Structure 1
Amino acid sequence: MTSRENMLQKIREYDFTMMDTGLFLNSHPKDAMALDHFRKAREKYNKAVKEYESKYGVLTTKNMDNNLQWTWIDDPWPWEGADN
């Protein structure tokens, strides 16, 4: 796997951890260990996304913060061979 693919995999893992732990917390809202686990995963997720986006551009339009121009479309799309 390339460095980019490794970074995306980590982001997916942290995202899954947050989703799974969030589901657990829906039925166990006072579980301090689970809440701490969720917070740690969220911190790792946010850090990984920030690092990825600093190298490769934004992952989602939610993270667009350029007020001068819509840059979401500037990078090659996956089917244009950017990941190869």
Structure 2
Amino acid sequence: MSNKQMPKEFYTMMEELQSIDFVLVDLTLYLDTHPNDYKAIQQFNEFSQARRQLKNQFEERFGPLQQYGNSYSNYPWNWNESPWPWQI
């Protein structure tokens, strides 16, 4: 586990990403059983867009969040930099 101290914004943004992810999972489960709920679909799309924007801001500042082509890497390869999301 890393002992590297990150700036407060790192933890704030990570918490916001986790909150948005929770909402998206919850809306996904709801929409699986209510596929015609237009308002819920709108909410899902709004949170999805907000997550994408926040993820991009986070990765520009702190590095990639997801592997397998879901996040870009800076040069040099920066996947070995910590802390990793599951280490905080």
- TM over 0.5: same fold? yes
Show the 5 A alignment for 1:1-84.
2-62=8-68, 63-66=70-73, 70-73=77-80, 75-77=81-83
The unaligned stretches of length 5 or more in structure 2 are 1-6
Q: Which has the higher helix share?
A: 1
TM-score by length of 2: 0.76
Task: Give TM-score, length-normalised by structure 1.
Answer: 0.79
The structure whose RCO (Cα within 8 Å, separation 6+) is larger is: 2
- Percent identity (aligned): 22
Alignment partners' CA distance in 1, 2:12 and 2:76: 30
Q: Rate the CA distance shift 1:65–1:3 in 2: closer, same or farther, 3 A.
A: closer
Tell me how large the CA RMSD over aligned residues is. 2.5
